[in-house]
Every structure is written in structure tokens, then in C-alpha cells.
Amino acid sequence: MNHVSEVVVITGASAGVGRATTRKFARHGARIALLARGTDGLEAAQREVEKLGGTAIVVPVDVANAEQVEAAAARVEVDLGKIDIWINNAMASVFSPIKEMTPEEFRRVTEVTYLGCVYGTLAALKRMLPRGRGTIVQVGSALAYRGIPLQAAYCAAKHAIQGFCDSLWCELIHDKSAVRLTMVQMPALNTPQFGWVKSRLPRKAQPVPPIFQPEVAAEAIYFAAHNPRREFYVGMPSVKAIVADKIAPGLLDHFLARTGYESQQYDGKEDPNRPDNLWRPVRGDHGAHGAFDARAISCSPQLWASEHRTWLMAGMVVLAISGLVALFKNK
């Protein structure tokens, strides 16, 4: 399917999931607005988009600033045209026990990860609602349902996005709006964030295995943008975490108390003086992938099944009917 005329806004587009998603849309000829703080990564992403056959503009913005986000949306519609898809992907985090966190760190993570999503949604709705069309994609996480130790600020912000979407889904239905909203709950991903997120861990941070490549996330986001349903769970680990939390959250508390510290670290002492991106971007182009290529999974059978669920269900119905017919014939 080719969506040549689409105008797409991607926040956090300079690296990681945002960068992989940018490439995915570029291959389909989209006109893409690249939003993030780091100009090095944004300019590199723009060059990639153009090589892949798309069109891109660079819009340096801190999504924690509502005025900057609104100004970015206005510029996009002047330079590229009416926004069809808005993807809220920007995030910030701190790896730290809660008792060692500062109020300023909690506020910053919340402003970027949660309020940045809210501000992006408001800017998109301002333009999409009067036109009666458009799709908003919230990049969520299994952690939107199940918090883990050492990432309290990030988990809380993702929980907040999920609650915000609950309210917005109700309002869009009430207003009989054709604007679509979807939230994509991600698994652990091999992105550069683990090398630039502020950390107080004794060893280097890692995603909780199993780890998926960011292209898996990009595929899910692209599919969700064009086939929006309420939510997408990406990867079997996300399904397991979300379902288990609904059934036995207390047991998960104890399980994560035993395993959640070790599973988020790997061999190698953390450098307490390395640059982090909490308050300002880390210089350079960091691309889409992190340091875990050797361990990362490049596909998800669960995601494929989710994308093709209509055909799979139809096939199951056909098999069931065929079985019943055979049963009655044998009687």
C-alpha cells in the first residue's frame, strides 16, 4: 500500500523508534515533519528520508514546551500541507531508585513523556477535528500497564498517557468524530536511549530481554496509523506483561522485586560522568539502533498475527465449519 500524499508528524524523530518509523514512512513516499531537540540526528534523518524517496522538514522542538509544539504544527501545515498522521513518540527517562530521584527529574520526565504527548495531541486535534479526519498514534509501552523498578518516572508517564487516551476515546465517540486515535504498546527495544538516559545504576542499562529491533516498532506504528484500532500490543512479552498484571499484580510485584534490578543491567560499569539527554540533547547522530544488535529480534510473530487477525479468524471459522461438515457426514 502506498500513501504518497500523506503528511506525517513524528516527535522524537532523531533516533531510536522515531528514526526507524521515519524510514518506514519515507519508503512509502510520505511528507514527514521531523520533530526533536537534537539537530544532528534530525538533519541525518532528513537526508535518509530524501534518499528513500520521501520529503522531510526539520523542526527543532522541545515537546515539553506547548508553544513550541503548536508553532511546529503551524509550520508543518504551511510547508508540507494538512497533517494526516501525528505520531507522539518523544520520551525521556531516568534509571534510578525512587528514593534517589529529585522532584526536578520527575517533573522533566513527565513533561517530556506525558505532557509532550498531550501537547502533540492538542496540536493535532486543533487541525484534525474541524476537517473531520486524521489519525493520532501514541507510542506507548507494556509499562503503561505494568510499572517496573528503577524507571518509576517513565512508567508513570506511560500510565498517564493510557489514562489520557481512555478519556479521549470516550470524547471522540461522544462527538461522533472521524478522527482516529490508537495506542501502540511496545516491548523492550534496541534503541540508543540506554546509552544516553540519565542513570544511577552501578552497571550499564539495558532493555529487559527479550529485546526487539526498532524496526518491529516502526512496522507496528505504520500499520496502526493506517489500520487504527483502540490499542495494539506489540510482541508476546508485552501481551504477557499486560495480561499478567491484570490477573496477579501482587505476584508481579514480588517477581520484579527479585528480577527487575538485574534484568535492566548488563556487564560493564556505568560511567557516572557520561552525557545524558534529560535536560539537553546529546550531540551527534545516534541512528535507530542501540548497542544490542547481537541479542535483538528482528520480527514478531505475534505482531504479524495481530496485523492479519481478520484473515486468521476467517480461516479458523472456515476450518471449524469444515470440521462440523465432516463430522455430520461421518454420522
Strand ranges inside the chain, DSSP E: 7-11, 31-36, 55-60, 85-88, 94-95, 135-141, 180-186, 198-199, 203-205, 211-212, 231-233, 265-269, 296-297
Contact 38, 32 (CB under 8 A): no
Catalytic residue among 119, 154, 222, 233: 154
Cross-strand bridge partners of residue 52 = none
Residues 6+ positions from 307 with CB-CB distance below 8 Å: 223, 227
Query: And the C-alpha cell for 55?
Result: 520529503
Half-sphere exposure of 171 (CA within 13 A, CB side): 9
Largest CA distance in the chain: 77
DSSP characters for 111-126?
A: IIIIIHHHHHHHHHHH
Distance, CA of 161 to CA of 218 (rounded, Å):
19
Burial of 315 (0-12, 13-18, 19+ CB in 10 A): exposed
> Which three cell numbers mark 223?
500499520
* Strand residue runs (E) in 146-253: 180-186, 198-199, 203-205, 211-212, 231-233
Within 13 Å, how many C-alpha atoms sit on residue 164's CB side?
Answer: 25
Our answer to whether residue 261 is catalytic in this structure is no
Length of the chain in residues, anyone?
A: 331
Residues carrying an active site annotation: 154
